[in-house]
Chains A and B, each alone.
Chain A
Amino acid sequence: MIHTFAQITQQDWLINLVDTLADGFYQNLIHQNRFMYLINGLKMTLLVTLFSCLLGILLGMIVTYLKMSKFWLFRFIANIYLTIIRGTPSVVQLMIIYYVVFGHVDINKIAVASIAFGINSGAYVSEIFRSGILSVDKGQTEAGRSLGLSATKTMVLIVLPQAIKNVLPALFNEAIVLLKETAVMGYIGLQDLARGGDIIRSQTYAAYFPLLTMALIYLVVVMLLSYIFGLIEKRMRLSDNR
């Protein structure tokens, strides 16, 4: 069979590409079990995200309470916290907490990162909670109080359940933002997913394969989370139209 010139070069080009990809795959992921950098990195990313999410929600609740308090001092403290956290980059906050706050203390880096990202997230979560509480009609509180429920019981039994339902999408979104934010934890020497990809890059001197693989993993995790959150939201909406 006679091949034309164009067909030959096209085939060579394809063969070359497949070769390069196979080689890149082998060098960057298989050789010396390098994929473990990504697997372990992903575990670290998820772990820190989980801890900081929980801390962020806890702090968010406390700050919301302070911010909505009658006492000016409480509101003042909450405002200082919100201003500082929202006014500085989270990577700077992470470094300050690691090198300054815990600079002379022997403490687990995972704990440090979780605390730093948790403190950061708490500011955003509290704004979400506050907007959720404000989104519940004033008439709900008035109805509760007019029935003789105390302010606290009205908040817990009537306002909060509605507020949380309203802000669930925003909270889920914050969790995803947080997951991506933690990609800077390499700054204090933790090996998360982002750092894992970077380590492979520094060993193989190939940039695109490790970095694109790492990006793909982030993307898949985020899409998976969005999917799960979407299902939960859908269920909540369905139960809304009872």
Chain B
Amino acid sequence: MITVKDLHKHFGKLEVLKGINEHIEKGEKVVVIGPSGSGKSTFLRCLNLLEVPDKGEIIIDGEAITDPKSDVNKLRQKMGMVFQQFNLFPHLTIMDNITLAPRKVKGINKKDAEEKAIELLKKVGLVDKAQSYPNQLSGGQKQRIAIARALAMEPEIMLFDEPTSALDPEMVGEVLNVMRELANEGMTMVVVTHEMGFAREVASRVLFMDEGVIVEQNPPDKIFTNPQNERTKAFLSKVL
């Protein structure tokens, strides 16, 4: 479903991605771990072209999105993204946050969009917040809304960039629960996270990134109990 070939990206003199090769199948849950600054976010953001790669190819559903002729907006409809800082739209109600893109991008009428939104709000357990504004919500609630908002576009792939890192500890669980449920429904997911418990439980594969390359990748039981690479060992010994 996603194929990445020799992906490079630099900011000024700083080379952040130094040749990433990766293939992700439909339905896979890939968790990306690695030290701060290793390029995890940049890798994820390249997948929906929030960052434009310098070199290399990204192919989604057989379409080379790195080709300048490809339709970026169309591509992004296939991929939802959840950010560390939630990025809800503060001037819109929760309902409007969720229905904005379906209505303005897909042209779905208000009634249908709202029905779908209610369904999603039920799924994330926040149906009573439909008419609230984002700044009336807790961090955990905001992030669950952000997930619902992304799902409203009915994406085939969901990208998560440290979705629980900005949350108070007691709110991490509620967000991970929603993600776990999503995983069980078969969604293709790429998740950057420091939640090793979640990785262990949900991931079909764990990628360990360091200094702009994927150093090691294995199923969670293998990578966590028996890491092969020295850098992986050093990193895991610090976080586990």
Which residue in B73, B85, B101, B133 is a CB contact (below 8 Å) of A139? B85
Across-interface contacts of B101 in A (CB, < 8 A): 147-149
Determine whether the beta carbon of B100 is less than 8 Å from that of A140: no
Asked if A147 meets B153 with Cβ closer than 8 Å, knowing A139-B87, A140-B87, the reply is: yes
The contact string, 1 if C-beta is below 8 Å from chain A, for chain B 134-164, is: 0110000000001001100100000000000
B211 CB to nearest A CB, Å:
25
Across-interface contacts of A139 in B (CB, < 8 A): 83, 85, 87
Q: How far is the CA of A43 from the CA of B77 in the complex (A)?
A: 54
Q: Which one of A145, A146, A150 has the greatest number of beta carbons of chain B within 10 Å?
A: A146
Across-interface contacts of A241 in B (CB, < 8 A): 135
Determine whether the beta carbon of B48 is less than 8 Å from that of A146: yes
Q: How far is the CA of A150 from the CA of B104 in the complex (A)?
A: 10
A146 CB to nearest B CB, Å:
4
Across-interface contacts of B146 in A (CB, < 8 A): 143
A interface residues, tally (CB under 8 Å): 20
Determine whether the beta carbon of A148 is less than 8 Å from that of B87: no
A91 CB to nearest B CB, Å:
40
Q: How far is the CA of A157 from the CA of B101 in the complex (A)?
A: 10
Q: Which one of B83, B100, B104, B136 has the greatest number of beta carbons of chain A within 10 Å?
A: B104
Determine whether the beta carbon of A143 is less than 8 Å from that of B50: no
Across-interface contacts of B136 in A (CB, < 8 A): 242
Determine whether the beta carbon of A150 is less than 8 Å from that of B73: yes
Across-interface contacts of B108 in A (CB, < 8 A): none
The contact string, 1 if C-beta is below 8 Å from chain A, for chain B 49-85, is: 0100000000000000000000001101101110101
Which residue in A143, A148, A158, A162 is a CB contact (below 8 Å) of B83? A143
Determine whether the beta carbon of B89 is less than 8 Å from that of A148: no
Which residue in A143, A157, A161 is a CB contact (below 8 Å) of B87? A143
Interface of A is mostly: helix
Across-interface contacts of B149 in A (CB, < 8 A): 147
B49 CB to nearest A CB, Å:
9
A214 CB to nearest B CB, Å:
42
Does A109 make an interface contact (CB < 8 A)?
Answer: no
Which residue in A137, A146, A153, A161 is a CB contact (below 8 Å) of B81? A146
Does A86 make an interface contact (CB < 8 A)?
Answer: no
Determine whether the beta carbon of A153 is less than 8 Å from that of B76: no
Determine whether the beta carbon of B74 is less than 8 Å from that of A143: no
Does A142 make an interface contact (CB < 8 A)?
Answer: yes
B48 and chain A: residue at smallest CB distance:
A146
Asked if A158 meets B89 with Cβ closer than 8 Å, knowing A147-B153, A148-B101, the reply is: yes
Determine whether the beta carbon of B89 is less than 8 Å from that of A143: yes
Determine whether the beta carbon of B100 is less than 8 Å from that of A147: yes
Which residue in B79, B91, B132, B150 is a CB contact (below 8 Å) of A161? B91
Across-interface contacts of A147 in B (CB, < 8 A): 76-77, 80, 100-101, 105, 149-150, 153
Q: How far is the CA of A149 from the CA of B101 in the complex (A)?
A: 7
B16 CB to nearest A CB, Å:
17
A138 and chain B: residue at smallest CB distance:
B87
The contact string, 1 if C-beta is below 8 Å from chain B, for chain A 227-242, is: 0000000000000011
Q: How far is the CA of A241 from the CA of B91 in the complex (A)?
A: 10
Does B90 make an interface contact (CB < 8 A)?
Answer: yes
Across-interface contacts of A161 in B (CB, < 8 A): 91
Determine whether the beta carbon of B76 is less than 8 Å from that of A157: no
Give chain A's interface residues, CB within 8 Å of chain B: 137, 139-140, 142-150, 153, 157-158, 161-162, 165, 241-242
Give chain B's interface residues, CB within 8 Å of chain A: 48, 50, 73-74, 76-77, 79-81, 83, 85, 87-91, 100-101, 104-105, 132-133, 135-136, 146, 149-150, 153
26 A-B pairs whose Cβ atoms sit less than 8 Å apart in the complex: A137-B85, A139-B83, A139-B85, A139-B87, A140-B87, A142-B50, A142-B81, A142-B87, A144-B89, A146-B48, A146-B50, A146-B80, A146-B81, A147-B76, A147-B101, A147-B105, A148-B153, A149-B100, A149-B101, A149-B105, A158-B89, A161-B91, A162-B90, A165-B91, A242-B133, A242-B136
